[in-house]
Amino acid sequence: MMPHVGWQFGPYRVEELIARGGMGEVHRAYDVQHDRYVALKLLTDRGADDEEFRKRFKREAHAAARLREPHVIPIHAYGEIDGRLYLDMRLVEGKNLSRVLADDGPMSPAAAVAIIGQVAAALDAAHAEGLIHRDVKPSNVILQGDFAYLVDFGIARPLTANTDITGSGEALGTLGYMAPERFGSGPVDHRVDVYALACMLFQCLTGDKPFTAENPLAVIFAHANVDPPKPSERRSGVPTGLDRVVAKGMAKNPAERYASAGELASAARKAMHTESTKRLPAVPVVPPPVKRRRPYWMIVAAAVLLLGIAAAAVWLWPKGSTTGNRQPTAPPTTTTATTVPSGPGGLAAPDNPPCDGAHIVIVGSAVTEANYASDLRQFLTAHPGAKYLHAPSTGCSSLRTHLDDTEIYSVYYGPFTDKESACAKRNSVGGDSFVRRLDNTSSSDRAVSCR
């Protein structure tokens, strides 16, 4: 049983319960060593004696901590204190997207596409590291103003499903967003996240999941057999081009989906310029026509899946929020911790590209210390897929490192192996962007010419 609030957990003073899930709790805590408030995730004792479970938790925490993407909440540290596994993350004051949709209803197409673009950037970063999220849904997106964070990377795993430490074949995720291949026993890849992202786009546009029914088997059957409904037929003002984006993102065959989350987001942005609908026909929640049949084994596997889906073994962001009257335990004494570096204002640590002669396209720089975090977030939001660097840390003399006495952070695309590719990107970005070569011979006062 977890202790109540107001107790000391290693260097953390636990102050407030934020949320509780089946495998543990998230607390607001004060890190006395680093003088900051954090979101502290504590696992229950359920897996305390399960060595494979402990390995999986630490492995996946380490994998999530490697992500250097602004739309992934930074992990400060993770480890074990007195036999209890924990995760220390940046504390984000915001609402999850599920709550926003419940309170405010569907989003405007422009707002929905903007949120999807930010989540796609987080997914592309995870996929580039060989990780699958496998639980993409609105309740795992935290909004801080118009800035989105994708959370709950606790079910991130290598792209080859067979390398899972547990070997249990356990089903994680939520039915409303699960790709058809998730209901089988074969391997899955990053395209299950693309499918879920398309489901989430549909929900942002309409306020509802693509398939809903009282019987979970009906939802599974719809994912496997029924074409997704068109968002433009559920809500007026939705560009019809977004119908095609949802349809391709939710293709039953993974090979027919977008190759990446970023590709889906790019298609959604382009679809904003297509015609929108004016009138709405009545459409059932789960359309009755069945256009394809899935093997009988898929339905049987899905039924078995339902029995264990509520007992997902690893989590990072519980969704409920309650308090309980429980007794405190003795203060922990044994600590094993791994600390992860972070950037300004709790951003993920900056990238540090090598000075190897490659080129980058700089799209903006933060030069005021008090505004580092806000300026960087603004540039990163405006340029999905971009990264940021701390110029003094690169060691490249070709980059200007200070403005007066203030260190410079720059948001950029790349690196590109040749000037032509960098210039092509610069031309597509436009604005005040410019190209720099990463080396120790070029002048920091002159950008690379793209003429």
What does 355-372 look like in DSSP terms, one character per residue?
Answer: -SS-EEEEEEEE--GGGH
Amino acid identity for residue 170 in this structure: E
Among this protein's residues, is 193 annotated catalytic?
no
CB atoms within 10 A of CB 187: 12
Is the pLDDT reported for residue 162 higher than 50?
A: no
**Helix then strand then coil, % of the chain, to nearest 5:** 35, 20, 40
Rounded average pLDDT over 37-42:
92
Each residue's pLDDT tens digit, 124-134 = 999 998 888 88
Among 148-157, 214-223, 271-280, 330-339, the minimum mean pLDDT is found in 330-339
Domains and CATH numbers, the chain: 7-90 (3.30.200.20), 95-156+175-181+189-277 (1.10.510.10), 344-438 (no CATH)
Each residue's pLDDT tens digit, 261-293 = 999 999 999 999 877 654 444 444 444 444 444
What is the predicted pLDDT for the residue at 22? 57
Active-site pick, 88, 135, 243, 351: 135
Q: What is the mean pLDDT of the chain?
A: 81
Is the pLDDT reported for residue 5 higher than 80?
A: no
**What does the angle CA 257 – CA 263 – CA 266 come to, to the nearest 5 degrees?**
130
What is the predicted pLDDT for the residue at 2? 55
Q: Higher model confidence: residue 179 or residue 345? A: 179
Q: Answer for the pair 144, 170: CB distance below 8 angstroms, yes or no.
A: no
Amino acid identity for residue 76 in this structure: H
First to last CA, the chain: 67
Each residue's pLDDT tens digit, 167-182 = 333 334 488 999 999 9
What is the predicted pLDDT for the residue at 147? 94
Rounded average pLDDT over 135-153:
90
pTM of structure? 0.63
